[in-house]
Structure 1
């Protein structure tokens, strides 16, 4: 070709490219990004969570987001630092990021709210019940604002190091118009930490440990159930394809380890999870959000704190961690799972703690009662009544 023809073609290509880019920008400006609000945003978990949300890993490579960081005025400088750093990273899917310290502005047009608020527990300084009431007061502020400012289908994720179940429960209580199925408590940190402990015992990759269930009060008294756990890719005497599962309890021949070391490790597991600097809870939140929007792996059990409707004989009206499966933008409790007698007995004890926390939070009782105390009290009361009856009246 002559050079003049080539220049004309190049000019036409350039103009076509500019027109396509302009059209894409116009389309982009018309799409509304997901509005994500994060409370107590100066927490380390928030700092670790932002890149996971903004890189497309959670919501998909075609979904833009706007992140709103909410915290107190004392944390404004920290929030501004986070905003500047996130902007400098130039995430392609981060439309905007902003800091907020005025509580009245909270949750405006929110699609997703991630509640990271925690209370610093020091039972030597004040009674445990005072911390429960403190959490309740926080939720009494948040819940009406969520009802007033957020979108009707807003999804609320309760996470953090303390009172994860209680926060979710109180937001439902003080925000009755919020869809209860859209308020969840994240149990994934405990689930993944337990899988890692088991994988170390079995000298295998933690990715191959599946279906470990966390029951109960996620950041309180919980029960890690291994009765449904399976191993994939375990290097044992029997070989099979990658999708060939083996029951975990059949592979751990040292049963004493399960009953002694693993159970005792659960307390240290909880302390490790609560002392983590932010990577673990951030990964847990991102994982649950990805499952919520795109579905969990087929057939895999996920632990999630949800409002009980009586599944597995757990009393209604409390937020309780139980096995679920995510599909089509929602979750479903796996009620088809059979649970053994040991697990069922544990569920009654765990439910008692959540009921007590709820009653304290709602100021129906002043102090939590230990498990079984209500039964003893009623029996003693009956005995006293019988003693006061006249002889021969029974």
Structure 2
């Protein structure tokens, strides 16, 4: 085990995702089981008491990798020398709220935290935004922290990616580990496009193994898009355990690399690849090596896929325009 700890910050750490995520991070699921961890938990002052309770539980669990756990309500304090920041905190949409109202509150949160990250975190800090609207929150953070390399600000679509793997495994009767190279294109929203055209199951194309194009082009896409809503209906709460596990997968692959011949899905800043407008934080297939991600190039995009990818890009463009309008109003 390396003795210099990786400084990991979880925002919104007193919430249900934070409660599921923190012990996974302490066990090494995000950074690797050979690296020491210094964990900082950040939340709003209102949640300070609950946050201290989470910290006490983590201390009592005596995780072998953990060198320290601390609780904070000041972002500038929590982000000092941060190596990895997992941005779970955000303002959720409540009954009766307009989309613009939610966007305005999240713009304010991510503008403040961007400034704290830019001044306090390490120059190479790696950031993954989980709080919705994740892609646009990440783009706001990037806008207000230009000192941080754009490639170091990402958002999580790994949960959607993992859902797609599980659906294909279940439909084919194979283990999820035998399913490779699905793609989530676009926004972490109902316009995302779960693409199976390049996926394989036990080395054969997913379309060949499943043998049901109508399912793959219809019910499968809808099922991945709807999964979060189905969980809310069942639990009366949003996904927590699966979100926590997936964000650990996202960070682990980013830091330690994807397997040879495999890719994952990450929301990253577009460089114009596949016709996606430059500057959008958009989910692409990526491989990771040496702590860096690269968009997988050269994939064939059929007409149907092009339409679905463009629809998600249009939604993201409109979301970011709304966020900028909120910024202008609050200036």
TM-score for both structures, normalised by structure 1: 0.78
Q: Residues of 2 paired with 1:279 and 1:332: CA distance?
A: 28
Residues 313 and 130 of structure 1, relative CA distance in 2, 3 Å threshold: same
Q: Secondary structure at the match of 1:33?
A: strand
How far apart are 1:103 and its partner, in Å? 3.8
Q: Residues of 2 paired with 1:304 and 1:56: CA distance?
A: 20
Residue 71 in structure 1 maps to residue 52 in structure 2: no
Q: Secondary structure at the match of 2:325?
A: coil
Quote the residue 1:33 is aligned against.
Answer: 5
- 2:273 aligns with one of 311, 314, 317: 311
How far apart are 1:277 and its partner, in Å? 4.3
Instruction: Give yes or no for contact 2:9–2:41 (8 Å, CA) kept in 1.
Output: yes
Q: Residues of 1 paired with 2:230 and 2:88: CA distance?
A: 18
Residues 209 and 179 of structure 1, relative CA distance in 2, 3 Å threshold: same
In the alignment of these two chains, the number of paired residues is 324
Residue 328 in structure 1 maps to residue 286 in structure 2: no
Q: Residues of 1 paired with 2:21 and 2:140: CA distance?
A: 24
How far apart are 1:326 and its partner, in Å? 0.7
- 2:146 aligns with one of 155, 176, 198: 176
How far apart are 1:336 and its partner, in Å? 2.0
* Aligned-pair Cα RMSD in Å: 2.0
Residue 351 in structure 1 maps to residue 313 in structure 2: yes
Q: Residues of 1 paired with 2:72 and 2:279: CA distance?
A: 33
Residues 231 and 155 of structure 1, relative CA distance in 2, 3 Å threshold: same
Residue 258 in structure 1 maps to residue 216 in structure 2: yes
**Structure 2 unaligned regions, length at least 5:** none
How far apart are 1:104 and its partner, in Å? 4.0
Quote the residue 1:185 is aligned against.
Answer: 155
1:22-49: CA deviation from partner (whole Å, max 9, x where unpaired): xx9xxx8xx4311111111112222222
**Structure 1 unaligned regions, length at least 5:** 1-23, 233-244, 367-394
How far apart are 1:265 and its partner, in Å? 2.0
Quote the residue 2:16 is aligned against.
Answer: 44
Quote the residue 2:198 is aligned against.
Answer: 228
1:333-390: CA deviation from partner (whole Å, max 9, x where unpaired): 0012222121112222111111111111111899xxxxxxxxxxxxxxxxxxxxxxxx
Q: Which moved more, 1:54-63 or 1:163-172?
A: 54-63
Residue 362 in structure 1 maps to residue 324 in structure 2: yes
How far apart are 1:106 and its partner, in Å? 3.3
TM-score for both structures, normalised by structure 2: 0.92
Instruction: Give yes or no for contact 2:10–2:22 (8 Å, CA) kept in 1.
Output: no
- 1:80 aligns with one of 24, 34, 52: 52
- 1:110 aligns with one of 63, 71, 82: 82
Q: Secondary structure at the match of 2:201?
A: strand
- 1:282 aligns with one of 244, 255, 273: 244
Quote the residue 1:143 is aligned against.
Answer: 114
1:113-148: CA deviation from partner (whole Å, max 9, x where unpaired): 1100233224x6132122122211111101111111
Quote the residue 1:294 is aligned against.
Answer: 256
How far apart are 1:97 and its partner, in Å? 0.3
How far apart are 1:220 and its partner, in Å? 4.6
Quote the residue 2:187 is aligned against.
Answer: 217
Higher alpha-carbon Rg: 1
